[in-house]
Amino acid sequence: MAFAHRAWAVVCFILVVAARVDARSLRRPSPIGARRTTLLDDEFDVDSFDVDSKSKAVATRSILRDVSSGEWSKWRYRSNDELAAVLDDLHAGPCAGISKLTSIGTSAGGVAMRAMEISTSPGLEQAKPGIMLVGNMHGDEPVGRELIVRFARLLCIAHGGERSGHGDLDSASKKLVDEAASIVDGARVFLVPTINPDGFKNKRRNNGNSKDLNRDFPDQFNDPSLPDGFDERQPETAAIMRYSQSVNATAALNFHEGALVANYPYDAISGTNRQAGYAKSPDDVAFKRLAKIYAKAHPSMATPANKEFPEGVTNGARWYPLWGGMQDWHYIKTQTMDVTVEVNEWKWPEASQLSSLWSEHAPAIVSYVHAVTRKSLTGKVLDSVDGKTPVASAQLSVAGIDVPFIASSLGYYARFLAPGTHEVTASAPGYYSQTRSVNVDAESGGTLTISLRRLEDETPDTGKVQNFSKQKPSRVVETKKPVVNSAVDTNDPNYDPEKGGIVWNRGEPDEWVDDGTTTLDVANARIVYAPTPEGYVQPWGQGPDIGFLDAIVVALIVIGVCIWRWRKRRKARLAALREGVQLSNVKVTND
């Protein structure tokens, strides 16, 4: 009995320890955070990436002067009404035919917030990367408003001039014009000059409800599921969340003020001490490359003159962590690679500074947007039946980067990656997954079209199904209803009367399916599974397996017995105390 008691004590001890460990793990940040955030002591140096430094704004004044001629030579902060009017002017003037204006919502103070798309077929789904520019999220940081409308004008003038020629522009200007024209042809550009018109009007950081919009987004630690919950958000936040999800851009820029740096995710960091530290995202290398493309195309951002950030870039959380920002939300929710640019060391600079701010940032904006347009990995996921039908909403993932992304309704995808060879896997319900290797060139990016084969297109002529074992179906059997194997060919040499089906790969270990339970329904040319004793199919990867349920039942029984024995001992102790007997003499466990 003494041995039994010790054995029970050991079991109870293990359970208690396990429960404590489990409780600790429950207090950890969300699985998303735990999975996606790793802290590093040092930034990985990406100087080796070839960024063309010729695009620096040394001699680009010619085209920038074109953009800033006439009415545009007056450097001032436009009021909200003037901002709306200038968008109308662009839409009717230089951007006619390649722009679309929409209202994305209304601010807390009732001001309509507008967005302009610039592309060759505005408003239509296209097989092109999307790039979004957002300005003036903080009301007292207004430079982005002006940068965005002038960038729109630059794109439209460059695109118009592409056909008429640009005459005697200097070489730097020609490069800028070529890249800008190439952006209009090759991308969809979504411009939102202000998402805080009330803050701008009041010259205050926060919106009309005194809320900081860049702390108002769901974040990976406080709202791990990143719910839309638009009603719980500020109207400006909800508006940009809806718009972002509708355009599903490949990359974004959002403009702030108070430093001179390109800041990339993550902004938020796990842990409760809220101390600054590097919060590495799965796309850390690509993010650094993007941020450096911006910084190096700016004349002073990535130079020793920038004392705080001599490289011109920083990881957000390494600078200072923040939670609820747009940058992290964009990346995690819509897989949009968003870089926050702090355009000037002090906020709301004199209007007379706008001219030089524009000439410094224009080449950087063009370089960034052009890089996403022309240097991304792009391609389509198509149905192999005809090689043309898009597989809408196919999921793609890149090996080593734990952030899958979704193809558009055209089957199109675009992803900005580090140069090199990548393994890309496409999968979709009803299709076999496929993994392909592709090289992404530093200058020209890469293209990869993946044709997926439908599960029901499999028409093996015999029961030999080796073909199946080489490809993992993205979804095998959806139903949990019993599978009737009535169509199985009982003359097949692999027919197993006990299983009621043809045993697939019997005797050959397979990495993704349990041989003993898998059969092939030849007549219907699809994989089925032998019924379990309960009469239900146990498809691979679906539902808890029997072993797991068994473990839970055993654990519950053990816990129950522990409690029962503890209560019994306690009762005996109390009884002994009541009788005035020395506790040490009571052999309560030997009952």
Interacting residues with Zn ion (CB under 5 A): 138, 141, 256
CB of 426 to Zn ion, least distance (A): 38
Nearest by Cα to 257 from 175, 409, 107, 137: 137
For residues 415 and 373, give the distance between their C-alpha atoms in angstroms, rounded to a whole number: 10
Q: How, if at all, do strands 495-496 and 501-503 pair? A: antiparallel
Q: How, if at all, do strands 377-383 and 450-452 pair? A: parallel
DSSP-derived letter for residue 42 is S
Among candidate residues 236, 342, 360, 458, the one labeled active-site is 342
Compare residues 56 and 347 and give the one whose CB is closer to Zn ion. 347
Compare residues 201 and 569 and give the one whose CB is closer to Zn ion. 201
Residue 337 dihedral angles phi and psi, to the nearest 5°: -85, 100
Residue 541 dihedral angles phi and psi, to the nearest 5°: 80, 0
CB of 261 to Zn ion, least distance (A): 12
Compare residues 75 and 348 and give the one whose CB is closer to Zn ion. 348
For residues 304 and 240, give the distance between their C-alpha atoms in angstroms, rounded to a whole number: 36
CB of 416 to Zn ion, least distance (A): 24
As to burial, measured by CB atoms within 10 angstroms (0-12 exposed, 13-18 middle, 19+ buried), residue 272 is: exposed
Compare residues 114 and 138 and give the one whose CB is closer to Zn ion. 138
Compare residues 136 and 433 and give the one whose CB is closer to Zn ion. 136
CB of 256 to Zn ion, least distance (A): 3
Q: Which two tokens stand for residue 373?
A: 């347009």
Compare residues 138 and 159 and give the one whose CB is closer to Zn ion. 138
342 is catalytic: yes
For residues 142 and 256, give the distance between their C-alpha atoms in angstroms, rounded to a whole number: 8
Three-class SS state of 554? helix
The four Cα atoms 312, 316, 318, 321 give a dihedral, to 10 degrees, of: 150
Q: Which residue is nearest to Zn ion (CB)?
A: 256
Compare residues 138 and 422 and give the one whose CB is closer to Zn ion. 138
Nearest by Cα to 137 from 207, 80, 188, 68: 207
Nearest by Cα to 184 from 143, 128, 235, 234: 128
CB of 37 to Zn ion, least distance (A): 23
HEC per residue, 216-282: CCCCCCCCCCCCCCHHHCCHHHHHHHHHHHHHCCCEEEEEECCEEEEEECCCCCCCCCCCCCEEECC
How far from 541 is each of 406, 513, 550, CA to CA, in Å? 22, 9, 18
The residues annotated as belonging to the active site are 342
